[in-house]
Structure 1
Amino acid sequence: MLFTKMHGAGNEFLLIDGLDLPLPPHLDFASIAARACDRSTGPGADGLIVLEHASGLDARMRIFNADGSEAGACGNGLRCVGKYLYDHKYIRRKDATIATASGKRELTLEVVAGEVVSVSVWMGNVRLEARGERREDKNTQARSASKGLQGPPPDRYKIWPLQELRQADLSVVPQPSTVVQVGNPHCVFFVDELSDELIHELGPAIETHPAFPDRTNVEFARINSRTDVALRVWERGVGETAACGTGACAAIAAGIHAGLLNRDATCHLPGGDLQVSWINAGSQIRLTGPAVTVGVVAWEQPDQFAKAA
């Protein structure tokens, strides 16, 4: 089985091309994703992308998490798809329209000297639900003032001290938090510090919390200024990843909604930077960042990926 391995800001994918030749209808992509993305049994990645034909559009993208679950949206994956389509001459334009489980997504490619250097994706409309009330002390006010966050923040705003959030009662989802839908679910916390313990302890606990019956992605965001955020993401069905495109959109949207961020901001993730723009609540949110091809991977695997009859 051949994959093209790609990444967007370090978020790795294995891509199966069903555009050139039709894929066998019996393939169980969930099982392929679970084994191929596991670095002990396959090439390793954060997710599996399957490209298929879509009537009237440039392609259909299906995205499977590393545990085999199918996701509704993936910003980094869409950017990789845009580059793949251009590099393999499925498109010669600098734009594309892709079908996803969350609807059609429009892409714009920045091409320099024949090379795709970045891709912008209109990720659809955002739905937010701020939970909990603001609790702000003098230290929080001082941190806000030092970062140019002027004026009284809305009630939904709180920057969690690291230790307080780590010690929070997890019988309920710690409040305040912001639940964001960007084609898939996210739960965003603003924190004063990012740490491995925070990500790896609270990430899985919130992902599988009973409040989220379908599980959720979890974002921990540190506001550096009105245009700058540091972010780490615990992805549903994967664990911590180097970057998450929908997670970046969710964090920036939550920050704008809380009055902490301007409508154009940079999100710094362990794998690289992503740019997010959200003009207003009625507009689609736009994600811009790199897409890189690592190479073609041949995977020798047993013939066991047929769907159950």
Structure 2
Amino acid sequence: MTLAGRPFTKMSGGGNDFIVFDNRDRWFPRDGAVDLVARLCRSGLGVGADAVLLLEDDPGSDFRMVYYNADGGEAPMCGNGALCIARYARLEAIVPEESMRFATGSGLFHAHADPASPAVTLWLVPPRDLTLRYVELEKPPYLRVGFLDTSTPHVVALVDDVGAHDVTGEGSRLRRDPRWDPPGTNVNFVATSGRHRLRMRTYERGVEAETLSCGTGATASAILTYLWGLTEPPVTVETTGGIPLTVDFAPPDDPDTLPADVRLTGEARVVYRGTLDEI
């Protein structure tokens, strides 16, 4: 199948960039997706992006989001990608209302997107698989290290100076640590700056590099720093991309349970629209 003439939308969600396709007629060659997605996402030879998003029909919700990392591997979910596909669905009139529900590999999500504004709010599935502290890893420069799955797996490591941290080297090392590999984990390095603010840098699996932002990573970071007694909701997360994400949730009454009603708010912007040619 030739892809020439196929339209796409380039979007930025909180600093992550995505190539978005309307795949309701199932034209996208899912069997050859690994090589195709890797070509599309490669800067200089393709469109260039952190990931590819497909919007497909779903019988039990408004639509389904299919997510491919830049290496061509399919992943169940991406927070910033979900912000983008929710706004894309409204801009393209695929959903008639600002409130919508859509399916992912991590379950059903609810979002609110106003087509006139880039701000989108996403209600996440309940977080799970908490490890509050890995004391054996808490050696300088790490003050705290924990793990939480916020629809994708995340290690969160607290440091004093996140700006000077070796995100590439340490992110690659921890991402493949035997505790989490296979399938590996995303790694977020954070520093607090008050009770309602974090600075975060993220090493993403599948991209295998530092990215400008990570929505589910911001969510995991806000919840873990809350459980460590360092922050309280709402938490504004400052990312490398410079576009803040806000994480809000209901603190649990029982200290042995995780927060509920977890919400992620961030910007989903259309960068440009185009058509594929010689890819």
Matched, 1:107 2:136: no
1:278 corresponds, among 215, 225, 249, to 249
Query: How many pairs are equivalent?
Result: 264
Contact 1:132 1:175 in 2 (8 A): no
Cα displacement (A) at 1:9: 1.6
Q: Secondary structure at the match of 1:237?
A: coil
Cα displacement (A) at 1:105: 0.3
1:175-254 matches, cutoff 5 A: 176-195=144-163, 197-212=165-180, 213-238=182-207, 239-254=209-224
Distance in 1 (CA, whole Å) between partners of 2:18 and 2:134 is 36
Distance change >3 Å, CA 24–CA 6, structure 1 → 2: closer
What is the match of residue 266 of structure 2?
A: 289
Distance change >3 Å, CA 87–CA 258, structure 1 → 2: same
Asked which structure has the greater CA Rg, the reply is: 1
Contact 2:144 2:158 in 1 (8 A): no
What is the match of residue 133 of structure 2?
A: 131
Distance in 2 (CA, whole Å) between partners of 1:284 and 1:30 is 35
Distance in 1 (CA, whole Å) between partners of 2:211 and 2:221 is 15
Q: Secondary structure at the match of 2:244?
A: strand
Contact 1:178 1:188 in 2 (8 A): yes
- Specify every segment of 5 or more residues in structure 2 that has no aligned partner in the other structure, as ranges: 252-257
Matched, 1:259 2:236: no
Distance in 2 (CA, whole Å) between partners of 1:97 and 1:28 is 28
- Specify every segment of 5 or more residues in structure 1 that has no aligned partner in the other structure, as ranges: 136-157, 166-173, 303-309
CA RMSD between the two structures: 2.1
Using the size of structure 2 for normalisation, the TM-score is 0.88
Contact 1:276 1:286 in 2 (8 A): yes
Matched, 1:13 2:18: yes
Contact 1:126 1:284 in 2 (8 A): no
1:221-245 Cα offsets, whole Å, 9 max, x none, are 0000110000000011111111100
Cα displacement (A) at 1:92: 2.5
1:277-306 Cα offsets, whole Å, 9 max, x none, are 12132514210011101112333346xxxx
Contact 1:252 1:265 in 2 (8 A): yes
